[in-house]
């Protein structure tokens, strides 16, 4: 049985300095594929960061193959174009914990699912408010590795114990 390393991505809807952030994601994804026995990459599809991450992983899969990794779309609620999503992603999940969650709370609950079901959280956080920041704070309370990517050299001191 393969040792599966589970990695979730969370971030702001809009990405500033897109190429710089994308390069950071590329480096992390490539390292994980090269060093882990099997990696499940958990992503959403709720903004620029999520779409960028999925694209980076698909490019890495072209370079390294898919024998030791999987791109998993984790939905906060059912969507209409599920067939299209299933063509692009290796797997599409709608976790049972999210059934019957009000749609206004669904993305927050899905992000909590990421924290509770991951070995590593990769977070694009530029400010100390919003859903990505709240998810990052919850991850800090768990025993998972956190990698913060952003446009700053120094991170707000409220974001302690972050691994760069």
Specify whether the CB–CB gap between 92 and 75 falls below 8 A. Answer: yes
Name 41's Cβ contacts closer than 8 Å, sequence gap at least 6.
7, 9, 29, 53, 57, 69, 70, 71, 72
Q: Which of 68-72, 131-135, 149-153 has the lowest mean pLDDT?
A: 149-153
Domains of the chain and any CATH numbers: 4-149 (3.40.50.450)
Q: How do residues 43-70 score in pLDDT, each as one tens digit?
A: 999 999 999 999 999 999 999 999 999 9
Q: How do residues 76-124 score in pLDDT, each as one tens digit?
A: 998 888 888 999 999 999 999 999 999 899 999 999 999 999 999 999 9
The pLDDT-based confidence of 1 (bands split at 50, 70, 90) is confident
pLDDT at 163 over 70: no
* Rg (alpha carbons) of the chain, rounded to whole number: 15
């Amino acid at each position: 049985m393969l040792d599966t390393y589970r990695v979730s991505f969370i971030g702001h809807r809009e990405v500033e300095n897109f190429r710089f952030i994308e390069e950071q994601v590329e480096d992390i994804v490539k390292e994980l594929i090269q060093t882990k026995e099997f990696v499940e990459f958990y992503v959403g599809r709720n903004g620029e960061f999520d779409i960028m991450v999925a694209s980076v992983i698909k490019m890495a899969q072209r370079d390294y193959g898919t024998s030791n990794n999987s791109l998993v779309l984790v939905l906060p609620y059912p969507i209409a174009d599920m067939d299209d999503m299933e063509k692009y992603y290796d797997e599409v999940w709608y976790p049972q914990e999210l059934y019957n969650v009000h749609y206004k709370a669904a993305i927050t609950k899905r992000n909590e699912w990421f924290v509770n079901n991951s070995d590593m959280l990769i977070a694009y956080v530029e400010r100390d408010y919003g859903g990505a920041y709240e998810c990052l704070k919850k991850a800090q309370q768990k025993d998972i590795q956190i990698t913060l990517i952003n446009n700053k050299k120094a991170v707000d001191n409220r974001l302690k114990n972050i691994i760069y």
